[in-house]
Amino acid sequence: MKKIFFLYSIALVSLTSCEKFLTREPENEVGSINFMTKENDLVLYANGFIQRHMPSEETLAWGDQYSDITATRSSTPFLIGDNWTADEQGGWSGGSSGTWSKLRNINYFLNNLPKAKTNVPDDVYKHYEGVGRFWRAYFYYDMVQTFGNVPWYDQALEVTDYEQLHKGRDSREFVMQKVLEDLNFASENCSADPKYVRTSTMINKWVALALKSRVCLFEGTYRKYHTELNLTNSADIFLREAVNASENLMQSGPYSLVNNSSNIETQYRCLFISEGIKE
């Protein structure tokens, strides 16, 4: 009896020790608890958004065939009468590599961002919050263009969040108002520091204003001419926001198509024949 009790005690201690060992944070790499507490962590995480959210080679190469601005050898069902069905429309996939995982990736970043609040300057913190909200607006802009009403999430969901995962779609009006709020925050708080502006792979104040201008122009004109939505009264709100963002970008931004210090007549052509890098 004593031997059985002794063996049982050893097994219990071993199981407890194994559980502690298996659930502890790794010592030779960054764990989830220690990550996103420093500015460099935010930089690394935000850099991943570029790869996740940029259009694929298929979209860049073949995307225009779904519009009427190019001529193709054969038209897609998308442009022929009522042939396009819900079964043929992609972009709603789930899973770890699906469309909605991109949104969870963004919301995870924003939800965990407060861990760095006491370790980074306030302007840096707001910049990266703006970066996260920029990409969330980018995500929902694409989803609304494709599907109209979609469910709005501002939290990183877990597999146990059954009710949220299966909730219905929110209205276009609600989602696009949230998109506008995200773009306003991004354009006001993303930094215009040259270290963010000199590169083409970082989000900055001017990039946020450019996206805001495009999104608001699209939504304003869509509401104006799609009277069946009963949203024509709010069209001008988005159109005014588009104008304000464009004016701010043109008047304050560092970009220009024309440099008055050189030959204006050849500048446009030089964009395509120069071997140098134009900033």
Decide: residue 137, CB within 10 A, 0-12 exposed, 13-18 middle, 19+ buried.
buried
For residue 146, is it within any domain?
A: yes
For residue 9, is it within any domain?
A: no
For residue 11, is it within any domain?
A: no
Query: Which residue segment(s) compose the domain that 218 sits in?
Result: 29-273
Position 198 scores a pLDDT of 86
How large is the average pLDDT for residues 80-99? Answer: 72
First-to-last C-alpha distance (Å) of the chain: 82
For residue 230, is it within any domain?
A: yes
For residue 6, is it within any domain?
A: no
Tens digits of per-residue pLDDT, 92-134?
Answer: 876 666 788 999 999 999 999 999 999 999 999 999 999 999 9
For residue 182, is it within any domain?
A: yes
Q: Are 125 and 116 in contact (CB under 8 A)?
A: yes
Kindly compute the dihedral angle of the four CA atoms of residues 104, 107, 111, 114, in this order, to the nearest 10 degrees. Answer: 130
Decide: residue 246, CB within 10 A, 0-12 exposed, 13-18 middle, 19+ buried.
middle
Position 12 scores a pLDDT of 52
Residue listed under structure tokens 């929902």: 140
29 band by pLDDT with thresholds 50, 70 and 90: very low
Residue-by-residue DSSP string for 8-68? HHHHHHHHHHHHHHHHSPPSSS--TTTSSSSHHHHHHHHHHHHHHHSPPHHHHHHGGGGSS
- Reply yes or no on whether the pLDDT at 64 is more than 90: no
Closest CA to 128 of 51, 211, 53, 43: 43
For the entire predicted model, the pTM comes to 0.80
How far apart CA 237 and CA 112 sit, in angstroms, is 33
Position 27 scores a pLDDT of 46
Tens digits of per-residue pLDDT, 224-248?
Answer: 999 999 999 999 999 999 999 999 9
Q: What is the mean pLDDT of the chain?
A: 83
- Reply yes or no on whether the pLDDT at 30 is more than 50: no
How large is the average pLDDT for residues 181-185? Answer: 98
For residue 1, is it within any domain?
A: no
Q: Are 168 and 147 in contact (CB under 8 A)?
A: no
Residues of 86-108 as b/e, b for ≥16 C-beta within 10 angstroms?
eeeeeeeeeeeeebbebbbbbbb
Name the DSSP class of 169: P
83 band by pLDDT with thresholds 50, 70 and 90: confident
Domain CATH for 218 = 1.25.40.390
Domains held by the chain: number? 1
How large is the average pLDDT for residues 61-71? Answer: 71
For residue 16, is it within any domain?
A: no
Who wins on pLDDT, 143 or 16?
143
Question: What are phi and psi for residue 85, nearest 5 degrees?
Answer: -115, 170
What percentage of the chain carries pLDDT values higher than 70?
A: 79
